[in-house]
Structure 1
Amino acid sequence: MAAALALLGRAAGLVTGAQRLLRVGGSAERCLSRGISSDERPKRPLTAYFRFLKENHSAFRQNNPEMSNVELVRKIAGAWKELPASQKQVYEEARKTDWQRYEEQLAAYKAQLTPAQAAALKEERRKRLAKRRSFRAKRELTVLGKPKRPRSGFNIFVSENFQESEGISPVAKLKKLFDAWRKLSSSQKQPYLQLAEDDKVRYENEMKSWEAKMVELGREDLIRSRRQRPKTKTAETAKKAETAKASSHENKAKLKLKKSEE
């Protein structure tokens, strides 16, 4: 089932991935059409420590072939920490020289840009930094062991039937399963909807424990606000909400499939 879920995730991500590439490609194409590119922007010079790391990495690797990359970097960091101030100053002076050259090159680069070009590159940089921050935030939550979000009835149906489904590609399989799901009667969908409800209970219990742990670690910034926490529902209200949610998942899956075929 885990393998099926992984395949499902990749299949569902094909569309969004393609759309993302198109957006990035479109941005790059627009920049090139204006005769500019963010790749032409001068690169910031290395810090004193990273200069030391770059210059000595090969020698440290040769002397410590059994070490992992992480262990090797730690060893180099320790060597930098113990380096005499006079030797560190050599790297610092090199950084200052390169920094002055960098500022001159950056000023020349900016001087050739029109206001529209400068605005376009600034927006491109903003999006790239936002994407990087988002990636780091998600990676941090994974390291901290944040529970996986609950699955919908449709997700569970796909995970149980993905391997056996016919299709030459993940997207083709997903399309067949989507069609099969739509043809199921309410009684046939009910077991999957019930499993989804059980998974929501699992998620809430795990989240409560995880959030308590985050409070102990001083990471209250990761705790959900009261507005984000689910309210207690009656059986009838819960059933209506689940039906609406299932319908929403169906519509989103249908839209993704339609876009992937275009």
Structure 2
Amino acid sequence: MSTQSTDNKKPEEPKRPLNAYILFAEDVRERITKENPNISLGKLGKLTGEEWRALDSESKKIYFERSREEQRKYNQKMQEYKEAQKENSQETTTSSEERIIMTRAARSRRRKKRAKKRKKKPEEKKPDLKKKLKKPMTGYLLWVKEVTPQIKSEFPKIRAWELSSKIGKKWKELPDSEKQVYLERAKELKKKYKEDLAEIEKQRNKTDSFSSDLRSESSGDSPNAPDDNSKTNTENVKQEKEQNTKDDQ
């Protein structure tokens, strides 16, 4: 009875590969939570996103290559999974393949929907200079940018996932005194970033104030402008008084 159950056991479907950003998030999660012990999930996600956006293209490339490698392994496992299903039963295989096709079709529809939303022409807005200002890199990312070329030079044929693993290991082994050098550099960059943000805000407020004054002048709302209605009413009262004086005479 148990043998039959084992023989008929369906093969486990392989898990989908992680994308480059999720791989990066897994690498930095432990460090971020260690630096911020009471951090919430929302704040953790925000900091992770900021670090990813600040990451230079060369470092991001490592994670994209790792993601492609995982995709390749997934495709291979998926092929083995389908073959195992065929061995169990043709009916099970057909059902599973239909499910996979439906899942992929659903994902495709979602991707097209998202792409359509992105293609919609946004309303004309004033350029947000804050968004153009690149966020400062963290101490860890400054170190990664510096150490990556060194490791690649030492191991020219190193694969992306191996490079990422070696970088993470080296950072953990780095003495606190050396880490502090990069953390201090990151503090200076953050300070400069905040100063630049404040200057952008100051300039924007000046521009908004100037535009508001121009609109007021063009609409004739100046406080010193004469009121035509008031002038007309005064003349009418004067004429009425003169007429009353003549009648009395």
Q: Which structure carries more relative contact order (alpha carbon 8 Å, separation 6+)?
A: 1
Give TM-score, length-normalised by structure 2.
Answer: 0.36
Q: Which has the higher Rg, Structure 1 or Structure 2?
A: 2
Give the TM-score, by structure 1 length: 0.35
